[in-house]
Amino acid sequence: MKTIAFLLVLLSATPAYAQSVIAARTIRAQTVITAEDILITEDAIDGAYTRLDEVIGFESRVALYAGRPVRSGEVGPPALVERNQIVPLIYQGGGLVISAEGRALGRAGLGESIRVMNLASRQTVSGRIRADGTIVVGTASTTLLTN
């Protein structure tokens, strides 16, 4: 009898509705998204964000059209470094710290990987962006990003 009552409770429960984030208006690429730019719809859309706080404050990587879902690859952290910007490079390993200047070969945000040309050697290196806009290259990337 307890089993039947338990099954009735489960079957009578209201179904959970999935939500998806959609663009309220057309949002140009490289625009920081605000609460006025997006809406929640009660439709479940594959690959779309499900909460507003996952999108607000991030930057659109591509144009987002009104009424269409906002998907994970279409937004990211706001860019801290622009293409062709002169940026400081830091390498740290084994008690040695090397710093140089470089030119960003793309644009990227906090924690993202970016290619940079060392201005002194003309070599292209990859690194991760810190909050202050410094590019950390080499094995120091993970340790310096936390500092």
What the chain holds in terms of domains, given with CATH numbers, is: 16-76 (3.90.1210.10), 79-145 (2.30.30.760)
pLDDT at 142 (0 to 100): 47
Whether the per-residue pLDDT at 14 is higher than 50: the answer is: no
Pairing of strands 135-137, 75-76: unpaired
pTM for the model? 0.67
Q: What is the pLDDT of residues 58-93, one digit of tens each?
A: 999 999 999 999 998 899 999 999 999 999 999 988
Give the distance, in angstroms, between the CA of residue 10 and the centroid of all CA atoms in the same chain. 38
| Residue environment code for 38-57, b if the CB has 16+ CB neighbours within 10 A, otherwise e | bbeeeeebeebbeeeeebbe
Residue by residue, DSSP assigns 48-88 as B---GGGTTT-EESS-B-TTSB-BGGGEESPEEE-TT-EEE
Answer for the pair 72, 49: CB distance below 8 angstroms, yes or no.
yes
Q: What is the pLDDT of residues 19-32, one digit of tens each?
A: 899 999 999 999 99
- Residue 39: pLDDT band by 50, 70, 90 thresholds? very high
